[in-house]
Structure 1
Amino acid sequence: MKIFKTIFSILLVAISTISCSSDDGTDGIDGIDGQTGATGTANVIYSAWITAPAAAAETLDNTSGMSTSINAPELSEDILAKGTILVYVSFGSGTFSLPYTSTAGGFVNTITAVSSLKKIKLFRFRHDQAATVSIPTSLSWRYILIPGGVPATAKSAKIDYSQMSYEEVCMHFNIQH
């Protein structure tokens, strides 16, 4: 009796397998792959173009210079620890990423950004340390904050935003400039 049940079970499975074929159903039409969409600004934070208050003399890391700060209320501890912070200066001859080095007044000097919680300090120093160079209040500043909470993919790991022009960063993140 046990052998009869086993043979019957095998026969039932065989009949079920043979009786089912791909012809029994209706094939659907394959969908067409859509185009890859433009990179969006999800999670990327950027400011409007803003001006900074008048600069004051300050010494940072034993370097004398002039500094001022702009508010960046979205600049969190998480972004400071894991994200990317890009700062740009705009004036008559174009838009430039910081650090920005020039020969304003005939002396080589650099404007750099020092980020902290909810603030970005703008610091300008002369390379020869002979004197300080002011930061004009007529300059416009913009920051772009890229949170670092998304694991890198092979494609995104190759991107170094600090090596991209302002226009390239705006295009990549679909930011109006």
Structure 2
Amino acid sequence: MKAKKKLVRLLMVLMVSISIFSCSDGEDGATGPAGVDGIDGQNGQNGQDGQDGEDGQDGEPGSANVFYSNWIETELGSTINTQSASFDIEAPEIDSDILTEGIVLVFGRRVEINAGELESFTYQLPVSFFGARQQVYRATILTDSEIGSTAKIRIRVNSMDDTNVDDGNYIARYRYVIVPGGELIGSSSSSKSSNVNYSKMSYEEIKAQFNIPE
């Protein structure tokens, strides 16, 4: 009986072994579809870019076309035995456009010693002096017919009390400033109808307005 059981077990082991070794490999399956590409990784940081600075504010209008002369010494004498006298300053920058559209300002300066200190006083012409000195100083631009090839500014001093002028050097130096049409700075208008009245401004105000050096 035992011999019979051993024989059965032996046969079963043999059958299993034959079954394992007799099985053939199956055919390879079809290639599956390509997978979706992965997301690229982020580049490493090499330092962050700085933020752009804010735009600066626009500057105020400039005065590139405004002309100013040097200080010009007077040619009026210290002893004038008449009631008026004059001399001319050549101003070639004044043309027909300036005469019709622009503005010409003329300033006179006197210098005196006061308590040992040198002081200067600058006036826009015309200017009058009263008291012991009865004088008026004016500046006139010669008309088109008088200009010729070079424009001129005529400086004239007059006595106001029917006496001789005597001292014409009270104002010792002169300067003129030319403001072309369209360069009326400090106003919303670019024409001579501007509400800025330069003829009423002091020399210090004009100097600051147009960045004129001393």
TM-score, length-scaled by structure 1: 0.67
Secondary structure of 2:98's match?
Answer: helix
Which of 112, 121, 128 is matched with 2:138 structurally?
Answer: 112
Q: Separation in 2 of the partners of 1:82 and 1:172? A: 19
Which of 59, 67, 74 is matched with 1:37 structurally?
Answer: 59
Other-structure match for 1:146? 179
Deviation at 1:80, TM superposition (A): 1.4
Other-structure match for 2:198? 161
CA displacement 1:88-137 (0-9 Å, x = unmatched): 11111411110111137x14221000112311100111222333344229
Other-structure match for 2:168? 135
Q: Separation in 2 of the partners of 1:46 and 1:89? A: 13
**More moved, 107-116 vs 142-151:** 142-151
Aligned length: 143
Other-structure match for 2:32? none
Secondary structure of 1:43's match?
Answer: coil
Which of the two has higher C-alpha Rg? 2
Deviation at 1:36, TM superposition (A): 4.3
Amino acid aligned to 2:121: G
RMSD between superposed Cα atoms in Å: 3.1
Aligned pair in 2 of structure 1 residues 54, 46: CA closer, same or farther (>3 Å)?
same
Aligned pair in 2 of structure 1 residues 173, 150: CA closer, same or farther (>3 Å)?
closer
Q: Which has more helix, going by share of residues?
A: 1
Q: How do 1:32-71 residues align onto structure 2 when only pairs under 5 Å count?
A: 32=54, 34-54=56-76, 64-71=83-90
Q: Which has more strand, going by share of residues?
A: 1
Deviation at 1:83, TM superposition (A): 1.1
Amino acid aligned to 1:139: A
Which of 58, 61, 80 is matched with 2:99 structurally?
Answer: 80
TM-score, length-scaled by structure 2: 0.57
Deviation at 1:138, TM superposition (A): 7.2
Aligned pair in 2 of structure 1 residues 133, 124: CA closer, same or farther (>3 Å)?
farther
Secondary structure of 2:100's match?
Answer: helix
Q: Separation in 1 of the partners of 2:171 and 2:158? A: 18
Name stretches of at least 5 consecutive residues in structure 2 with no aligned partner: 1-50, 112-119
Q: Separation in 2 of the partners of 1:138 and 1:176? A: 20
